[in-house]
Structure 1
């Protein structure tokens, strides 16, 4: 199955390079290029990509606002937004996380890792390492508030869903969670999908923040 990708970046050279890189990778197809956020929104509505590789700092409309508009306009399913950023702890990244971005990619990332990141996001997996996830999300949870559930807001989850959410917040991918809980990977995916639906979350990254902000996981937790 081909993964359809939209590339949005105001730097023409970088945009062309990303388009060429992604377009030649097996199983990936570039369905559009946008030079600013407003164009990215229009193209996302028109082409319904599986993944949008989105720069943050763009003219007309920045990548954060574009992410919000795309996720509101394109549903069932919404595309997965992979944010391009220069700084891994940039304030813009925090805002993008709250907007529903599914992952983060530094602009100096090697080509093969860019391809792997696009595929990981398309598959619904976490594309950044647990160590980076912890640093990013713990800092976010300590210094920012979003409209995510408090501990009482987790009451609608089953005990198994709560445990899966806790492990997601610790940076485990679906295969690792399945091994830890002695479940099939497909069962874990179902639990993740169900808990995100109950909590009204758009992305796995938001699920991680929800676990921190609800107190289910606290900064420094490793097991």
Structure 2
């Protein structure tokens, strides 16, 4: 497989999970479009590691590899296809690498919602710090919480009840996932801080979480997506 086709496979995997982005992307500055998709594809790799099922050993090894890879980007020695796009950005890659082990610990079932949020706080902060540099948007307001809540929402989407804190399970497992979605939604304002691409991505993810909190399917149409992401992108 060539470097170009390997890169396309990672980008296409993310686009397949987020088909709405094709409608939103025209609102992203043209110079940032390929960068945004590569970045979100990288975060998806980390989401997949966080939400792994079964034997975690291969995923843990992959995460360790990613830690080494991110640290190498400071010296422009990327090995991964996504690095060809992302490495030139002089972002705090080493700080993100340092936070990656938190994903392993965050797999364990949390006792309470606060514990689940705390487990990924440093990771979310590292992600937000990279985005501030990558998309040339100095941090204003709380840029960490939107990343944190979106990561936990994605975990709920992928892992289901296994992602729900035990305190909510004790109140009844049938609606536990819905209650956890409602809890996360309460911490996720409709308009979030951060770069334009994060605000737009968050608006798409928040729509999915809203549906989960209501026990329904997301109402996704091109027009709804267009209006939603336009509004989010305005800041």
TM-score relative to the length of structure 2: 0.31
TM-score w.r.t. length of structure 1: 0.32
Structure with more helix by fraction = 2
Larger relative contact order, structure 1 or 2 (CA cutoff 8 Å, min sep 6): 2
